[in-house]
Amino acid sequence: MDLQAQIQLLIDNAPQDGVIPQLVTAIAPVLSAIAQKLRHSQYYILQNMEQSWVLTTLSDRANPPLEKRVIYAFPTIQDVPLRSSAGLDPQLVAAPIPVTHILFQLVAMEPVDSIVFFETPRTNTDSIEVRRADLQNLIQQQLQQNRPKREIPPDIA
pTM of the model: 0.85
Cβ atoms of 107 and 139 within 8 Å: the answer is yes
User: How does the average pLDDT of the chain come out, rounded?
Assistant: 87
- Cite the DSSP H helix spans in the chain: 3-13, 20-37, 99-108, 132-146
Instruction: Give the per-residue pLDDT at 153.
Output: 60
Please check the confidence at residue 83 and state whether its pLDDT lies above 70. no
What's residue 150's pLDDT? 61
Q: How far apart are CA 140 and CA 106, in angstroms?
A: 14
Sign of the Cα torsion 59, 77, 96, 128 reads positive
| Rounded alpha-carbon distances, angstroms, from residue 129 to 38, 78, 103, 143 | 10, 20, 11, 23
Q: What is the mean pLDDT of residues 52-81?
A: 89
Cα–Cα distance measured from residue 28 to residue 4, given in angstroms and rounded to the nearest whole number: 9
Q: Is 23 left (phi over 0), alpha (psi -120 to 50) or beta?
A: alpha
Single-letter amino acid code for the residue at 24: V
Q: What pLDDT does residue 74 have?
A: 94
What confidence score (pLDDT) does residue 130 get?
97
Per-residue pLDDT band for 91 (boundaries 50, 70, 90) equals confident
User: What's the half-sphere exposure (Cβ side, CA atoms, 13 Å) at 115?
Assistant: 27
Residue 86 has what pLDDT? Answer: 44
